[in-house]
Structure 1
Amino acid sequence: MERTSWLILVIFSCLLAFSSGRELKVRQEDKLAAYNHTLATILVEYASAVYMSDLTELFTWTCPRCDGLTKGFEVIDLVVDIQHCLQAFVGVAKDLNAVVIAFRGTQEHSIQNWIEDLFWKQLDLNYPGMPDAMVHNGFYYAYHNTTMRPAILNAVKRANEFYGDLDVIVTGHSMGGAMASFCGLDLKVNHETKNVQVITFGQPRIGNAAFASYYSKLVPNTIRVTNEHDVVPHLPPYYSYFPQKTYHHFPREVWLYNIGLGSQMYEVEKVCDGSGEDPTCSRSVTGNSISDHLVYYGVELMCEAWRSCKIVHDPGLVEYSKTDLQGNFILSRDPAAPILKMKTQSNGGGNHI
Structure 2
Amino acid sequence: MVVAGPPECMGRRRWFILATFVCLFAFSCGTELKVEHKHVDHHLTGYNHTLAKILVEYASAVYMSDLTQLFTWTCSRCSGLTEGFEIIELIVDVEHCLQSFVGVAKDLTAIVIAFRGTQEHSIQNWIEDLYWKQLDVNYPGMPDAMVHHGFYTAYHNSTIRPGILNAVERAKEYYGDLDIMVTGHSMGGAMASFCGLDLMVNTKAKNVQVMTFGQPRVGNAAFASYYSQLVPNTIRVTNEHDIVPHLPPYYRYFRQKTYHHFPREVWLHNIGVGSLVYQVEVVCDGSGEDPDCSRSVAGNSIADHLVYFGVELMCESWRSCGIVMDSLVSEYGKTDLKGNIVLSRDSILRMKTEMNVGEDHV
TM-score of the aligned structures, taking structure 2 as reference length = 0.84
Change (3 A) 1:210 1:342: farther
Query: Which residue of structure 2 lines up, in the alignment, with residue 70 of structure 1?
Result: 82
Query: Which residue of structure 1 lines up, in the alignment, with residue 51 of structure 2?
Result: 39
Query: Which residue of structure 2 lines up, in the alignment, with residue 332 of structure 1?
Result: 344
When structure 1 is superposed on structure 2, of 268-277 and 329-338 the one drifting more is 329-338
Asked whether the 8 Å contact 1:118–1:236 carries over to 2, the reply is yes
Structure 2 residue aligned with 1:271, among 262, 267, 283?
A: 283
Query: Which residue of structure 1 lines up, in the alignment, with residue 107 of structure 2?
Result: 95
Query: Which residue of structure 2 lines up, in the alignment, with residue 129 of structure 1?
Result: 141
Query: Which residue of structure 2 lines up, in the alignment, with residue 314 of structure 1?
Result: 326
Structure 1 residue aligned with 2:155, among 143, 149, 168?
A: 143
Structure index of larger Rg: 2
Greater helix percent: which structure? 2
1:169 and 2:153 aligned:
no
SS of residue paired to 1:312: coil
- Give the CA deviation at 1:108: 6.2
Give me the whole-angstrom Cα distance separating, in 2, the residues matched to 1:61 and 1:340: 14
TM alignment of 1:1-353, pairs within 5 A: 31-107=43-119, 109-334=121-346, 337=349
Amino acid at match of 1:275: S
Give me the whole-angstrom Cα distance separating, in 2, the residues matched to 1:226 and 1:183: 20
SS of residue paired to 1:186: helix
Computed over aligned residues only, the root mean square deviation of the Cα atoms, in angstroms, reads 1.9
Give me the whole-angstrom Cα distance separating, in 2, the residues matched to 1:159 and 1:293: 32
Give me the whole-angstrom Cα distance separating, in 2, the residues matched to 1:324 and 1:161: 25
Asked whether the 8 Å contact 1:108–1:308 carries over to 2, the reply is no
- Give the CA deviation at 1:335: 10
When structure 1 is superposed on structure 2, of 220-229 and 300-309 the one drifting more is 300-309
When structure 1 is superposed on structure 2, of 188-197 and 108-117 the one drifting more is 108-117
SS of residue paired to 1:214: helix
- Give the CA deviation at 1:262: 2.0
Deviations for 1:11-44, whole angstroms, at most 9, x for unmatched residues?
A: xxxxxxxxxxxxxxxxx98711100000000000
When structure 1 is superposed on structure 2, of 107-116 and 94-103 the one drifting more is 107-116
- Give the CA deviation at 1:114: 0.5
TM-score of the aligned structures, taking structure 1 as reference length = 0.87
Amino acid at match of 1:73: F
Asked whether the 8 Å contact 1:101–1:170 carries over to 2, the reply is yes
Asked whether the 8 Å contact 2:94–2:321 carries over to 1, the reply is yes
- Count of matched residue positions in the alignment of Structure 1 and Structure 2: 316
- Give the CA deviation at 1:112: 0.6
- Give the CA deviation at 1:46: 0.1
Which sections of structure 1, spanning at least 5 residues, go unmatched? 1-27, 344-353
SS of residue paired to 2:82: coil
- Give the CA deviation at 1:118: 0.3
Give me the whole-angstrom Cα distance separating, in 1, the residues matched to 2:120 and 2:300: 19
- Give the CA deviation at 1:109: 3.9
Asked whether the 8 Å contact 1:60–1:340 carries over to 2, the reply is no
Asked whether the 8 Å contact 2:120–2:314 carries over to 1, the reply is no
Asked whether the 8 Å contact 1:74–1:336 carries over to 2, the reply is no
Deviations for 1:89-133, whole angstroms, at most 9, x for unmatched residues?
A: 000000000000000001264211111110000000000000000
Query: Which residue of structure 1 lines up, in the alignment, with residue 6 of structure 2?
Result: none
Query: Which residue of structure 2 lines up, in the alignment, with residue 351 of structure 1?
Result: none
When structure 1 is superposed on structure 2, of 275-284 and 106-115 the one drifting more is 106-115
